[in-house]
Amino acid sequence: MNRPSPAMPTYTREEIDNTFIILKANQFAVGSTNARERIEKLKKFHRIFLQYRQAIKEAMFLDFRKHAFEVDLTEIYTVTSELKHTKRNLRRWMGKHSTPTPLALIGSRSYIHYEAKGVVLIISPWNFPVTLTFGPLIAAIAAGNTVIVKPSEQTPNTALVMQQIVEEVFEPDEVVLLQGGIETSKILLSLPFNHIFFTGSSRVGKIVMESAAKHLTSVTLELGGKSPTIVDETANIDQAARTITWVKCINNGQICIAPDHVWVYEKVKEKFIISVNLYLKKYYSEDAHKEPSYARLVNENHFKKVNELFKNAIEKGAKVRAGGQSKGEENYMDPTVLTDIPEGTDIMKEEIFGPVLPVQSFQNISELITQLNKKEKPLALYIYSRNQKNIRQIIEGTRTGGTCINSCGIHFFNNNLPFGGSNFSGIGKGHGWFGFESFSNARAVYNQFMPSALEILVPPYNRFKQRIIDLAIKYL
């Protein structure tokens, strides 16, 4: 696809080192700002961000033909709702979090003070370049950090607009956005940040964690994986097909929490596939290629990767039940449904990250759970069912970052829920309070306002003191 790309700026190690030194020198000034000052900063961010709404839409169309409406839904609304949620709650989050006092510590008061970690790094991917860059940035600012942001080089038009926003909102000793690819990332990862918030693939997540270990830098890793969806015999098939088709095709399937593949109870599988086909036509007509609502795969490399997974599945015996056509010169693939895929086929092992939906069948929920638990923990697992026993059995029997019941992907929109994976799909959480917490150090504060009863236990030790500690061990 012939897409104009702005020239990607490059930075020398010296320039990056200097930026880090400036942010480090300013960290205590930023960290000691109060809630009012931080909220003012977020208000300014909010106002300027909205001024760039049209520019973001245009940039994202150039980057991968994303429809303006989808930009509003998944890139603008998600950032403004995070901003509003943070502004509403920040005073409480920054306040003293009192904790109970055990009897043995009578005469004291304790609380948790959430202090800034210091200088933090945010590395983001291309698939939701704005949300996944500015979402963590809001949390980092709310927590009082100075920040370097490194967006993905794969969506250069959007990265340029984000850089303009950052430069307009923040002082250069507060937040700096550095563009660039792996080379810039590598230099940044060699620096002793106080926290790294990385969103991207599990493969690169391991590189980030290894680099962070050298400085004992804490990390939040928001990674990927294969999120399975279960549709049982009691599910509302129409609702399942309607929402799975929608969420699978948003952003052309390039969503970390997309329903990667579906497990449908055998007896309702055909009904489900018929329903998915109906919704595909409803959303994208007979020819999705002509539909402006349907985005493209981000670049030639990614197109090739998804297409290889598709072709390999066909070679191994998978059947095409919807779509199946592609136009490589435009990074276009039909919304595609596959069935009869042998287990062990690449498409059942690797994250698809494109508009191809494998639909497999199952007969026994316990056996399916055992099978799912042999794989890496996914970022999300979705359940379509009206049977409470089945829902409970799946939630209690599996492990995953998040779950929707009778829906998929929408948990991302609730800022009151933690967002993130578990092990292979991630470490740590983002969104709302959980993002603020990730970028903060929970500092324990113990305040002795009366002499402590424990002080009677100072040396020299004797039988009386021994008696007191014996009683404490027994009763306190």
* Contact set with ligand NAD (CB under 6 A): 123-127, 132, 150, 152-154, 181-182, 185-186, 189, 199-201, 204, 207, 222-224, 256, 351, 353, 379, 421, 426
Catalytic residue among 82, 222, 351, 437: 222
Residue type, 386: R
* Of the candidates 33, 29, 24, 171, the residue with the CA atom closest to the CA atom of residue 94: 33
| Residue 394: CB minimum distance to ligand NAD, A | 21
| Residue 255: CB minimum distance to ligand NAD, A | 7
* C-beta separation of 391 from 383 below 8 A: yes
| Residue 429: CB minimum distance to ligand NAD, A | 10
* C-beta separation of 89 from 114 below 8 A: no
Catalytic annotation present for 256:
yes
Find the residue with minimal CB distance to ligand NAD: 224
Q: Is 105 exposed, middle or buried (0-12, 13-18, 19+ CB in 10 A)?
A: middle
Question: Which two three-digit tokens encode residue 419?
Answer: 């967002």
d(Cα 367, Cα 96) in Å, to the nearest integer? 48
Residue type, 132: L
Quickly count: other Cβ atoms within 10 Å of residue 222's Cβ. 27
Instruction: Give the residue with the Cβ less far from ligand NAD, 259 or 421.
Output: 421
Instruction: Give the residue with the Cβ less far from ligand NAD, 153 or 173.
Output: 153
* C-beta separation of 437 from 114 below 8 A: yes
Phi, psi of 195 (to 5 degrees): -160, 145
| Residue 115: CB minimum distance to ligand NAD, A | 26
* Of the candidates 176, 167, 107, 169, the residue with the CA atom closest to the CA atom of residue 145: 176
Q: Which residues of 413-439 are buried (b: 16+ CB within 10 A; e: fewer)?
A: eebeebbbbbebbbbbbbbbbbbbbbb
| Residue 178: CB minimum distance to ligand NAD, A | 11
d(Cα 23, Cα 28) in Å, to the nearest integer? 10
Residue 106's region, left for phi above 0, alpha for psi from -120 to 50, else beta, is beta
d(Cα 42, Cα 38) in Å, to the nearest integer? 6
Question: Which two three-digit tokens encode residue 362?
Answer: 């199952």
Catalytic residue among 249, 256, 404, 408: 256
| Residue 79: CB minimum distance to ligand NAD, A | 14
Residue 201 DSSP label: -
d(Cα 88, Cα 212) in Å, to the nearest integer? 33
d(Cα 476, Cα 470) in Å, to the nearest integer? 10
| Residue 439: CB minimum distance to ligand NAD, A | 16
Catalytic annotation present for 174:
no
Instruction: Give the residue with the Cβ less far from ligand NAD, 196 or 391.
Output: 196
Instruction: Give the residue with the Cβ less far from ligand NAD, 177 or 391.
Output: 177
Tokens 């002795």 belong to 448
Catalytic (active-site) positions? 222, 256
